[in-house]
Amino acid sequence: MSKGFGSKIKNISDTNLLLTITIVVFFLMYIGAMIFQGEGFLKPQALFNILNANAALIILSCGMSIVMITGGIDISVGGVTALISMCCAVYLDKAGGNVAVSVLIAILIGLGFGLVQGFLVAYLEIQPFIVTLAGMFFARGMTTIVNTEPFNVSNEAFVALKNTRIIVPGMGSVNRLGNYVDAYVEIGVIVAILVVIVMFCVLKWTKLGRNFYAVGGNSQSALMLGINVKRTKFIAHLLCGVLAGIGGFVYFLHVGSGSPSHASGAEMNAIASSIIGGTMLTGGVGNIIGTFFGVLSLSTIQNIVSSAGLDQAWWTGITVAAMLCLFLVVQSVVMAVRKKGSVK
């Protein structure tokens, strides 16, 4: 009993350490970009643009982190996002639907995937990778069945919502015509920040949150502690599914179109963001705030690469790969040093 509790405390401080590394690296990178690349990065809107473009990824990554903390993985989130975009697009555009109902559709689709995948992983004990791989193929296939052609949604209420901008006071800048342009964020960013705050609180202060860490850290001792391991895993996948639903709608709200190729690779970006944010693939370690900064780091790197005038497509991939390696090495070195210290 005391051993389990002790290891839990240790894990949480590991989490904090990795989180600190992530945040420091992000700020160093961003300030470096401001100094060396100036122009685009000097304006606050640059940061808000990153948030606007990645609101959906932040939400998807939160779900991913939770599943990864319990020691699982969910690679269906990109496919689910594409499916949601397509279903909502067809519903709004071709059936003349209502925006509130489309939000409901999005969340229900996410919930459906969460329920089925969670059940298969937790109660039938199938490998999460295989289950969610099937989920991904299913979602991508269904997207094409719903509609093969990409198209833009012209539903008025939806377009109005999509173009709604929340002005951030005092952060605007003057453009070269001498006009003051307000800084703004899209609605999705507000949703993403709310999700980050709620999930952070859930992981920190609820029994459920602590169970996630315990199950991922060592499911045997979690079981001995009287934690319902199966139920915890099930809830983690369910939560990830619902977040994929919300993230899917936020993605749809940002792009305003349906296409079978939407959000391709989003699951991999979510995994990368979680890892950069200090979540460990082995489970038991991770933090939502870290994930948030993981997403920001990932897209800042992409911005730096592109504004440095390098050919984006492959350079981005290479820098992200380098960054992942760096973080994994730093993580394992830090962990190794720590273990050594505690043994002594």
Q: Of 80-99, which residues contact another protein (CB under 8 A)?
A: none
Query: Which one among 14, 21, 25, 43 touches another protein, defined by CB under 8 A?
Result: 43
Please say whether the beta carbons of 277 and 292 come within 8 A.
yes
Q: Could you give the CA distance from residue 323 to residue 329 in angstroms, rounded to a whole number?
A: 10
By beta-carbon proximity to another protein, the closer residue of 138 and 315 is 315
Query: Which one among 127, 164, 312, 332 touches another protein, defined by CB under 8 A?
Result: 312
Least CB distance from residue 49 to another protein, whole Å?
5
Query: Which one among 21, 46, 250, 266 touches another protein, defined by CB under 8 A?
Result: 46
Nearest to 78, CA basis, from 68, 63, 66, 67: 63
Residue 175 in the binding site for another protein (CB under 8 A): yes
CB neighbour list of residue 342: distance below 8 Å, 6 or more residues apart: 10
Roughly how many angstroms between the first and final C-alpha of the chain, as a whole number?
Answer: 23
By beta-carbon proximity to another protein, the closer residue of 105 and 253 is 253
Residue 179 in the binding site for another protein (CB under 8 A): yes
Q: What are 285's two structure tokens? A: 């370690």
Query: Which one among 3, 27, 206, 268 touches another protein, defined by CB under 8 A?
Result: 27
By beta-carbon proximity to another protein, the closer residue of 173 and 228 is 173
Q: Could you give the CA distance from residue 101 to residue 109 in angstroms, rounded to a whole number?
A: 12
Q: Could you give the CA distance from residue 273 to residue 294 in angstroms, rounded to a whole number?
A: 4
Residue 344 in the binding site for another protein (CB under 8 A): no
Query: Which one among 11, 291, 303, 331 touches another protein, defined by CB under 8 A?
Result: 303
Residue 163 in the binding site for another protein (CB under 8 A): yes
Nearest to 326, CA basis, from 301, 343, 308, 303: 301
Residue 148 in the binding site for another protein (CB under 8 A): no
Residue 31 in the binding site for another protein (CB under 8 A): yes
Q: How many CB atoms lie within 10 A of CB 77?
A: 36
Number of residues that bind another protein (CB under 8 A): 50
Least CB distance from residue 258 to another protein, whole Å?
12
By beta-carbon proximity to another protein, the closer residue of 179 and 342 is 179
Least CB distance from residue 107 to another protein, whole Å?
22
Residue 16 in the binding site for another protein (CB under 8 A): yes
Helices 207-217, 2-37: crossing angle, 10 deg rounding:
90
Please say whether the beta carbons of 27 and 44 come within 8 A.
no
Residue 21 in the binding site for another protein (CB under 8 A): no
What is the radius of gyration, based on Cα positions, of the chain? 21
CB neighbour list of residue 204: distance below 8 Å, 6 or more residues apart: none
By beta-carbon proximity to another protein, the closer residue of 67 and 289 is 289
Q: Could you give the CA distance from residue 344 to residue 8 in angstroms, rounded to a whole number?
A: 19
Question: Hey, CA dihedral for 32, 35, 41, 47, is it positive or negative?
Answer: positive
Residue 289 in the binding site for another protein (CB under 8 A): yes
Stretch that binds another protein, among 19-27, 231-239, 267-275, 328-336 (CB under 8 A): 19-27
By beta-carbon proximity to another protein, the closer residue of 39 and 341 is 39
Give kind and range of the element (H or E) at residue 239.
Answer: helix 229-255
Sole residue written with tokens 């559709």: 105
Least CB distance from residue 278 to another protein, whole Å?
13
Sole residue written with tokens 């719903």: 146
Q: In the complex, which residues of this chain contact another protein (CB under 8 A)?
A: 9, 12, 16, 19-20, 23, 27, 30-31, 34, 38-47, 49, 53, 150, 152, 163, 170-171, 173-179, 181, 204, 254-257, 261-262, 289, 303, 306-307, 309, 311-313
